[in-house]
Chains A and B, each alone.
Chain A
């Protein structure tokens, strides 16, 4: 086996330009697959981190009637804070959020919104809620940059907000925008107004009630569902992002599969040509004591070694390139507001060990298969005719 590898390497290097052309094309596949997949891994990581930081923490408890895709569920999706959560809330490891429907009137226009009540002193989420702990001549409110842009709102603006209380009675008040925050998580930004939870509980006549509890880490998962509260683990909450990335991944795979197929086609072609041109050599190996099966193995290793050389060549220019790419990132030219998912404007690829090893194995296996395919012909060759270089 060692001899076959040594021989294959020697033959491959000896083939000169033909080998290097194959190797360079294949190395492009390596680098592009790793770079492209790195973007998705980076997106996945960034999206999950941003969602954890801004919205879901280590997981959430939802009121059993709460459906984030059905605003009409909100009127029934609230309940008093259960006693078992109180200690966690007091320790700052859990944040209650009350959500109701409402309407704001920016510049005389009517805009339906979700009014979200949160404690100003919380530090579990990145929301700048400390700006709710202020005294202005109205209810202090913070909104996201996309919400502000869509409604032409600025810090210090006053506007009317209208809501229905627990009895179904409409009421209205003034809010003052005390902070506009920038986030990649559209689900805490678009069409949402954050105000102090005490104010919202009082406005909605829902004292000490909440719709959602966000907790800091996974410790509370052990409790499972409790009373009216349904446990939503971190994994459940990010599953949509994962599905989205999977879809993107499949689309991306088509792109780099084409590149890989082109490289493999070049190797296949080289193998076919090699077997055609090197019949005398094949005959010589047999005459010197190789079985035809061993010659098939030698040619397969030779073809597969293209992938090993490609990995080395790819590493030479790919490592600096991928490092630069990871540092500089790539602008996708879309904002999270347009996308509807947590997505940063600049994506920073992440290259994991499994990504690099997985890609190497994929390319190596594919190359071995396309190398073996034409090499099987050797097994049917007549060695005496091969020795004379007679085309078979």
Chain B
């Protein structure tokens, strides 16, 4: 494991208004993640793992403290800068896949490259490469409604990986999958982490995922309870 921190948080706090009061989802999180880590935020619902993932993905901003992603302070980014960071450096994998339903598998995977203005030839090469990684080259013309859950999640992985991001944030990626598909997906991601040195950060409470993690960060009531590295 390398020591260059791609993610660093200091006393990271997130408070949500709730009715007349407020709710602290994160209470002073201090965390460092290096390049090529395969780590997970583990905890029950409401422990703050998705909130932390959203802040690190520049989809949300901290209420207090610092969150540095690839050296950029999330709280200080403009909407445009945050979008640029997501577009260029971060890949997302969601529990419910979040694929564009009217687009084919190929187009879904191609989408991040279109945003990055890759040429048609480069796009084709990279998309086919990503689909080969996830074993879906025979489904390029199909649309998400024609695919199984496992296939959809593999498309989502290919979409997250096609631009070779520095960080992949995966929020409960196996929650909607059976055991066989979950293991396939996790093996694919572990392989990508090994070969491409991409940093993976999961939010999960699934034992199958936890089994694959090299670093387990346990969250409880918005605070880090335990941080275990294999």
A residues at B contact (CB < 8 Å): 3, 10-11, 13-15, 280-281, 283-284, 286-294, 382-384, 387, 389
Check B98–A289 contact: CB distance below 8 A: no
User: Out of A14, A292, A383, A384, which one reaches B101, CB within 8 Å?
Assistant: A14
Check A3–B59 contact: CB distance below 8 A: no
In the complex, how many residue pairs between chain A and chain B have their CB atoms under 8 Å apart? 64
* Interface 0/1 of B51-63, CB less than 8 Å to A: 0001001011000
Interface presence of B96 (CB below 8 A): yes
Check A288–B87 contact: CB distance below 8 A: yes
User: Out of A3, A13, A14, A281, which one reaches B115, CB within 8 Å?
Assistant: A3
Q: What's the minimum C-beta distance from A2 to chain B, rounded to whole angstroms?
A: 9
Known contacts: A3-B115, A10-B102, A384-B54. The answer to whether A291 contacts B80 by CB under 8 A is yes
Check B60–A280 contact: CB distance below 8 A: no
Check B59–A384 contact: CB distance below 8 A: yes
Interface presence of B100 (CB below 8 A): yes
* Interface 0/1 of B73-86, CB less than 8 Å to A: 00000011001101
Check A289–B59 contact: CB distance below 8 A: no
CA distance A220 to B213 in the complex (A): 96
Q: What's the minimum C-beta distance from B77 to chain A, rounded to whole angstroms?
A: 11
Interface presence of B92 (CB below 8 A): yes
Interface presence of B111 (CB below 8 A): yes
Check B115–A288 contact: CB distance below 8 A: yes
Q: What's the minimum C-beta distance from B140 to chain A, rounded to whole angstroms?
A: 16
Using a CB-CB cutoff of 8 Å, which residues 100-132 of chain B contact chain A? Answer: 100-103, 107, 111-112, 114-116
CA distance A387 to B60 in the complex (A): 12
CA distance A385 to B103 in the complex (A): 23
Interface presence of B64 (CB below 8 A): no
Check A288–B112 contact: CB distance below 8 A: yes
User: Out of B54, B83, B94, which one reaches A289, CB within 8 Å?
Assistant: B83
CA distance A387 to B83 in the complex (A): 15
Interface presence of B88 (CB below 8 A): yes
Closest 5 CB pairs of A and B: A289-B87, A14-B102, A284-B98, A291-B83, A384-B54
Check A287–B79 contact: CB distance below 8 A: no
B residues at A contact (CB < 8 Å): 50, 54, 57, 59-60, 79-80, 83-84, 86-88, 92, 94, 96, 98-103, 107, 111-112, 114-116, 159
User: Out of A284, A292, A382, which one reaches B79, CB within 8 Å?
Assistant: A292
Question: What are 16 of the A-B contact pairs (CB < 8 Å)?
Answer: A3-B114, A281-B98, A281-B100, A286-B83, A287-B57, A288-B111, A288-B159, A289-B84, A290-B83, A291-B83, A383-B60, A384-B50, A384-B54, A384-B59, A387-B94, A387-B98
CA distance A293 to B99 in the complex (A): 21
Closest residue of chain A to B80 (Cβ to Cβ) is A291
Q: What's the minimum C-beta distance from A164 to chain B, rounded to whole angstroms?
A: 85
Known contacts: A14-B101, A281-B100. The answer to whether A289 contacts B86 by CB under 8 A is yes
Q: Please, which residues of chain A bring their CB within 8 A of the CB of B102? A: 10-11, 13-15
Q: Please, which residues of chain A bring their CB within 8 A of the CB of B57? A: 287
User: Out of B59, B87, B100, which one reaches A383, CB within 8 Å?
Assistant: B59
Closest residue of chain A to B171 (Cβ to Cβ) is A387
CA distance A288 to B90 in the complex (A): 8
Closest residue of chain B to A287 (Cβ to Cβ) is B92
Check B98–A290 contact: CB distance below 8 A: no
CA distance A384 to B116 in the complex (A): 22
Q: Please, which residues of chain A bring their CB within 8 A of the CB of B100? A: 281, 284
CA distance A293 to B59 in the complex (A): 14
CA distance A289 to B116 in the complex (A): 9
Check B88–A289 contact: CB distance below 8 A: yes
Q: Please, which residues of chain A bring their CB within 8 A of the CB of B94? A: 284, 287, 387
Q: What's the minimum C-beta distance from A287 to chain B, rounded to whole angstroms?
A: 5
CA distance A3 to B115 in the complex (A): 8
Q: Please, which residues of chain A bring their CB within 8 A of the CB of B115? A: 3, 288-290
Q: Please, which residues of chain B bring their CB within 8 A of the CB of A11? A: 102
Q: Please, which residues of chain B bring their CB within 8 A of the CB of A284? A: 94, 98-100
User: Out of A14, A281, A286, A389, which one reaches B59, CB within 8 Å?
Assistant: A286
Most chain B CB inside 10 Å of its own CB: which residue of A284, A294, A383:
A284
CA distance A280 to B156 in the complex (A): 14
CA distance A283 to B159 in the complex (A): 15
Closest residue of chain A to B156 (Cβ to Cβ) is A284
CA distance A13 to B104 in the complex (A): 13
Q: Please, which residues of chain B bring their CB within 8 A of the CB of A382? A: 60
Q: Please, which residues of chain A bring their CB within 8 A of the CB of B59? A: 286-287, 383-384, 387
Check B80–A10 contact: CB distance below 8 A: no
Known contacts: A286-B59, A288-B86. The answer to whether A10 contacts B96 by CB under 8 A is no
CA distance A389 to B99 in the complex (A): 13
CA distance A273 to B57 in the complex (A): 28
CA distance A292 to B86 in the complex (A): 13
CA distance A383 to B92 in the complex (A): 13
Q: What's the minimum C-beta distance from A121 to chain B, rounded to whole angstroms?
A: 75
CA distance A301 to B167 in the complex (A): 32
Closest residue of chain A to B107 (Cβ to Cβ) is A10
Closest residue of chain A to B54 (Cβ to Cβ) is A384
In addition to A287-B98, A289-B116, A291-B80, 18 A-B residue pairs with Cβ atoms within 8 Å of each other are: A11-B102, A14-B101, A15-B102, A280-B98, A283-B98, A284-B94, A284-B99, A286-B86, A287-B94, A288-B112, A289-B86, A289-B87, A289-B112, A383-B60, A384-B54, A387-B94, A387-B98, A389-B96
Q: Please, which residues of chain A bring their CB within 8 A of the CB of B92? A: 287-288
CA distance A384 to B115 in the complex (A): 20
Closest residue of chain B to A6 (Cβ to Cβ) is B114
Q: What's the minimum C-beta distance from B47 to chain A, rounded to whole angstroms?
A: 16
CA distance A387 to B54 in the complex (A): 10
Most chain A CB inside 10 Å of its own CB: which residue of B83, B87, B103, B107:
B83
